[in-house]
Amino acid sequence: MDFDQNYSLRMRQQNRMSHQYNGIALLSQKDRIQFYDEILKECKGKRCIDVGSGSGILAFLALKHGAKHVTCFEQNPKSSHHIRTVAEKMNVSKKITVINTEFKASNYYSYELNDIDILFHELVGGYIWDDMMGVAFDVPLPIKIIPSEYIIHFSIVKLTLEDYSYLINSENNPGISKGVTLNVGLSSQFTEYYNEVIQSSDHFYHYTHIMNKPININQVKFALDEIYNSHQFEHIGTHIFDANNSDHYQLNHTIQFKLPQIDQPYLIVVHPLLKSQNQVFDFKTHHIAFSGYYNPIIVPPQSSHKALRYKIFENRLNIDKLRLK
């Protein structure tokens, strides 16, 4: 059956990418692989589905732990070819089926799969949910999904005006990192004076925004570490989505929390976790893979925002009527 015409825009764009296959990011993250390696022990003796297989690493881990069979859904043809090639070289071709299409829960019965026990995936984004995950799991499924729980903690960190000024200037100015040698015969006083002038410049955004791609990422990380170590985190709420609870697809797909009514600037810090049984993967320690800790939401002074609202299936984050992503 040809599902190409039903691909989402995101999947069609990925199909046009020139790289050999998807799934590279997971390969470079040791702790993340270890988390999946542990939870996939549950696949022993089970028939499984791997959604968004990429390089196929999760499917091969499941087989390592004794999975009876794994059906890989991978929409990128180059990735699909890679999985088949590796499976043949590993002599596990009979235990892997690759379906070159985008998985969608609402199409589950049209795939004509038999006796599936477990579905696993790694379609997590910056705030856990992204458009790929929202498309894939649009309705509840009759089989178990792992990871099973998607937890997001939301906290507020209040700033002084000096904190806010330093953070915004760090975000918008390149600066010269400490220890950098310019190799043009200039003394360290030049670097010190340059950075002093840069940081004293007034580069305020003056509007609420997510710190997505700061110009000076090292200086921003330094500034945020200083703030986090010296300021108090005020917890404003936790959202838990259980992929194996059908009620959550209707009742728990929108996150909404009240924001403090204060005149001073503050940060909204997002802290996601994945959970399956007793295994937890904490995104806070992997800032490259997730955007909520070193890319917080910056709220300027006198903003008077009332509420944060995040529609997870649409990956749409709003503060009041301001759309941030």
pLDDT tens digit sequence for 65-111: 999 999 999 988 888 999 999 999 999 999 999 999 989 999 999 99
Residue 308 pLDDT > 80: yes
For the chain, how many structural domains are there in total?
Answer: 2
Q: Are residues 163 and 227 in the same domain?
A: yes
User: Which whole-number Å values give the CA distances from 292 to 232, 243, 270, 285, 324, in the listed order?
Assistant: 17, 22, 4, 11, 13
What is the band of 179 on the pLDDT scale with cuts at 50, 70, 90? Answer: low
**What CATH number should be reported for the domain holding residue 19?**
3.40.50.150
Per-residue confidence (pLDDT) for residue 182, from 0 to 100 = 59
Q: Which of 131-145, 175-189, 245-259, 265-279 has the lowest mean pLDDT?
A: 175-189
Q: Are residues 177 and 290 in the same domain?
A: yes
Q: Are residues 253 and 174 in the same domain?
A: yes
Residue 215 pLDDT > 80: no
Summarize the confidence of residues 200-215 as an average pLDDT: 75
Q: Between 81 and 315, whose confidence is greater? A: 81
The whole-chain average pLDDT of the chain stands at 84
**Assign residue 315 a region: left if phi > 0, alpha if psi is -120 to 50, beta otherwise?**
left
What is the band of 23 on the pLDDT scale with cuts at 50, 70, 90? Answer: very low
Q: Are residues 95 and 235 in the same domain?
A: no
Q: Are residues 115 and 174 in the same domain?
A: no
Q: In this structure, how many other beta carbons lie within 10 angstroms of the beta carbon of residue 242?
A: 16
Q: Are residues 76 and 174 in the same domain?
A: no
Q: Between 3 and 306, whose confidence is greater? A: 306
Per-residue confidence (pLDDT) for residue 89, from 0 to 100 = 94
What is the band of 54 on the pLDDT scale with cuts at 50, 70, 90? Answer: confident
Summarize the confidence of residues 221-243 as an average pLDDT: 94
Q: Between 200 and 160, whose confidence is greater? A: 160
Summarize the confidence of residues 11-25 as an average pLDDT: 50
The C-alpha R_g of the chain, in whole angstroms, comes to 23
Q: Are residues 118 and 153 in the same domain?
A: no
Q: Are residues 207 and 99 in the same domain?
A: no
The model's pTM is: 0.81
Residue 141 lies in a domain: no
- Check the CA dihedral 89-93-99-102 and report its sign: negative
Q: Between 278 and 5, whose confidence is greater? A: 278
Residue 130 lies in a domain: no
Q: Are residues 38 and 187 in the same domain?
A: no
User: Which whole-number Å values give the CA distances from 202 to 12, 165, 198, in the listed order?
Assistant: 42, 7, 9
What is the band of 19 on the pLDDT scale with cuts at 50, 70, 90? Answer: very low
What domain range includes position 72? 4-122
Q: Is 128 helix (H, G, I), strand (E, B) or coil?
A: strand
For residues 86 and 56, what is the distance between their CA atoms, to the nearest angstrom? 9
Per-residue confidence (pLDDT) for residue 143, from 0 to 100 = 96
Summarize the confidence of residues 229-255 as an average pLDDT: 92
Q: Between 148 and 198, whose confidence is greater? A: 148
Per-residue confidence (pLDDT) for residue 191, from 0 to 100 = 73
Per-residue confidence (pLDDT) for residue 165, from 0 to 100 = 86
Per-residue confidence (pLDDT) for residue 259, from 0 to 100 = 95
What is the band of 253 on the pLDDT scale with cuts at 50, 70, 90? Answer: confident
Q: Which of 14-28, 56-70, 172-186 has the lowest mean pLDDT?
A: 14-28
